[in-house]
Structure 1
Amino acid sequence: MNNPSRYKLNTTSFKNYWEKGIGVALLKKLERKPDLKDAERFLPHLFEFDGKADELVQQLHQKMGFVKGQKLVDDYISGKNIFDKETENQLKTFFDDLDTSPSWLDLSLLKLGSEFSQRSGISGLIVLRDYCLMGGYESAAINKPLIYTGALKKGAAKRLTDTTEFWVDITGDDALLNNGIGFKAIIKTRMIHSFSRINILKLTDWDSSKLGAPLNQWDMLATNLGFSLVYLVGLRRLGFKPNENEVKGLFHFWKYIGYLLGIPLNLLPNTEEEAIELLYYWTMTQPEGDEDTIALAKALYEEPILANYPTTKFGRQMMQEFHLFYNYYLLGDYSCNLLQLRKTFTGKIAYLNVVKNKIQARNTHKEHYRKKAIVKGRAEHLEVKRIYLTYNSK
């Protein structure tokens, strides 16, 4: 198999992360530094994709449109009658192959992962936006599907709304069980990925020999690591001190979500140490950012000003400054310079949130405090979701 041209040793942002940034401390958690020669075993995953979901999308969404096709999927999940026998059989084939209660699933760990996500509150959403999402724009290859589907033209507000709604829905109590709102959101996202991949290959000049398959399994794993490991690193940076069980729960939570999304089970990490090694292999074999990723970073930078909330111009300007502070605080000067983000002085007031988190972290060992923080954090998540859907969903 020939290596796609996107597969190259990173010499800029990610290399700096592992040699001079937060990655230095992460690598110390491992018994030995990963050998990049071992990364070559993941090359086949650049060409692998979710064929089972693609088959269902070809049968439904491609023929009748995404909205109508997805309604049938949601109806089937909800137990409603599917009157067309052929369609019912197609749906049954897909869902019969998806074991929603695999033998390895630990419901107690799943609950811990959900609760830790909830207690992150506003800080968790800050990490997802200003660290995970913005940091992801340092790689050109993984973001190409966004360019090919026209996501840049749709604006960052819509993309943030969709991501926030998805994340809040999947992290709710028992949201992944009994065909809950989180389970439905995951299946819908899986269909969106397949629908996008099929149409990118059908309607554009995508070159798989250079980029791998659109939304391939190796990049899907990287996204999963962004929501788990990178999210965890960001929260620690903002003053959170998760206990050992919460960390185990978080990775189990995202292992199950990754499995439901169609990522091969053998790729998904069980522990923080396994996740660190996988993130190292992925990041260190990525091409640096390009004009497309700079444009995506600029769109995210401009989003607070162009959004409809806060409702005042001053409020939107302050929101932009706060996000800029977190970009620099979490990503560091080197990465932010590569993304062409300006520095902020006014936004430094947002550091008060970090101070607050550090003070509150002293009580995380107290169970009654942890439960109180979970309730408070969940309320914050639901309110942010409401704001996004009210003001920024158009």
Structure 2
Amino acid sequence: MKIPDRYKINTTSFHFYWTKGIGVSLLTKLPTTPDLAHAAQFIPLLYQYDKACDQLVEQLHLKIGFVKGQQLIRDYLRGRVIEADYVGLISEFMDTLPLEPEWLDRQKIEQGIKLSQRSGLTGLIVLRDYCLMGGYESSAINKPLIFTGALKKGAAKRLTETVTFWVDITANDALKKGGIGIEAILLTRCIHSFARLNILKHSGWNSDKWGIPLNTWDMLATNLGFSLVYLIGLKQMKFNLLNTEIDGIFHLWKYVGTLLGIPVDLLPDSEEEAIKSLYYWTMTQKEGDKDSVALAQALMEEPVNAAYPRSKFGRRLMREVHLYYNNYLLGAYSCALLGLEKTTIGKIAYFNILKNKKANSQILNDKVRQQQIRKGRKVHEGVKQIYLTYN
């Protein structure tokens, strides 16, 4: 079996997470700590990728241009007339999509979407300052970002894309036929294939060292970031979660994951399955490197370099607030590895955590919870608009 250099037992950040950090409490939910010898079964996934979408992008985007290719996908999904030469090509790809699998439970999808909406600003903070920043602790999963010039393009671009994607797929009815979420997922899938093909064709990518860019195992890890890690972050931020909401989040991201091209048998149905998957992936990751630090530093400075808030003081204050959440959610050990500073003024952000604790004491009251859902959704739409306007 071919084993890339990136595959090694982690002895730094992720090891600390599972032995001295929050991961300790996660492992107590399992009968036994997973045996890392079993992680070897996932090594082939480092060379597995989304062949169906790569074939589409090879014959569409790489021939007529990325922008035009994406527009043709949009037009097709919206029922517009497109050039006959491309109808069959896109239809063939669409036939591979499990839009209505037998296991799909629309009520669970709804629960997952409603929790996402209820999370409001806190949910976006968790995604940015915990899930996204924490992902930089692995040098391997972030290498495609380096090869596609993410540092030169700036952190704001990736944030805008991530926020827009997440807000779109968590809209009401987003994942029903013709919904904005389905479109967002398929366009993102094409972005992944376009990036992978260009990296392999036009860069010095070393597959023996890193595996295939945006491979299946890394895609699974990203999916876990939006589900399990997101839930862990919400709990740290004093969110009370209903069991139906937790089940809903895993079902939501199982469905999204399949549409993104991840094999369904890899996607967890429960928290316990997700914990095992996260353990196997994180504990076989090469530690962060200079690129990890550079990406983390770019995200740390993003508020200062952004065009919003308008005032320089407001932007610097935002930097400190995000730094506080980085330290609060990731912990001092991880922040030190990523070169993230400590902050004093940013501690004002703790008031938001106290606010969450108070608001979440009433979630069993359906009327209160529905109000939180509506309010949270407005916040998400407002933040998305800010990113699209100022970035």
Task: Provide the TM-score with structure 1 as the length reference.
Answer: 0.98
What is the distance in 1 between the residues matched to 2:169 and 2:2? 38
What is the distance in 2 between the residues matched to 1:244 and 1:87? 45
When structure 1 is superposed on structure 2, of 273-282 and 91-100 the one drifting more is: 91-100
Cα deviation 1:109-162 (Å, max 9, x = unaligned): 000000000000000000000000100000000000000001110001111111
What is the distance in 1 between the residues matched to 2:303 and 2:282? 28
Q: Is the 8 A contact 2:13 2:137 kept in 1?
A: yes
1:57 equivalenced with 2:57 (yes/no):
yes
Q: Residues 1-394 of structure 1: matches in 2 within 5 Å?
A: 1-84=1-84, 86-392=85-391
Letter in 2 for 1:52: A
What is the distance in 1 between the residues matched to 2:355 and 2:214? 38
Letter in 2 for 1:157: A
Cα deviation 1:179-213 (Å, max 9, x = unaligned): 21111010000000000000000001111111110
Give 1:360 deviation, angstroms: 1.1
What is the distance in 1 between the residues matched to 2:281 and 2:250? 18
What is the distance in 2 between the residues matched to 1:254 and 1:321? 31
What is the distance in 1 between the residues matched to 2:254 and 2:172? 17
Cα deviation 1:44-94 (Å, max 9, x = unaligned): 10000000000000110000001111111111111222332x421111111
Q: Is the 8 A contact 2:10 2:282 kept in 1?
A: yes
Cα deviation 1:246-289 (Å, max 9, x = unaligned): 00000000000000000011110000110000000000000010
Give 1:2 deviation, angstroms: 2.3
Letter in 2 for 1:41: Q
Matched position secondary structure for 1:142: coil
What is the distance in 2 between the residues matched to 1:218 and 1:194? 15
What residue ranges of structure 2 are gaps of 5+ in the alignment? none
Matched position secondary structure for 2:308: coil
What is the distance in 2 between the residues matched to 1:283 and 1:99? 29
Letter in 2 for 1:223: T
What is the distance in 2 between the residues matched to 1:99 and 1:339? 39
What residue ranges of structure 1 are gaps of 5+ in the alignment? none
What is the distance in 2 between the residues matched to 1:285 and 1:224? 17
What is the distance in 1 between the residues matched to 2:215 and 2:308? 35
Letter in 1 for 2:244: N
Give 1:176 deviation, angstroms: 1.1
What is the distance in 2 between the residues matched to 1:72 and 1:355? 47
Letter in 1 for 2:385: R
What is the distance in 1 between the residues matched to 2:179 and 2:20? 43
What is the distance in 1 between the residues matched to 2:374 and 2:116? 11
Letter in 1 for 2:172: D
Matched position secondary structure for 2:341: coil
What is the distance in 1 between the residues matched to 2:113 and 2:328? 26
Letter in 2 for 1:246: E
What is the distance in 2 between the residues matched to 1:362 and 1:175? 29
Give 1:334 deviation, angstroms: 0.2
Letter in 1 for 2:246: V
What is the distance in 2 between the residues matched to 1:365 and 1:239? 15
Q: Is the 8 A contact 2:2 2:44 kept in 1?
A: no
Cα deviation 1:347-394 (Å, max 9, x = unaligned): 1110011111111111011111111100000001011111111112xx
Letter in 2 for 1:320: R
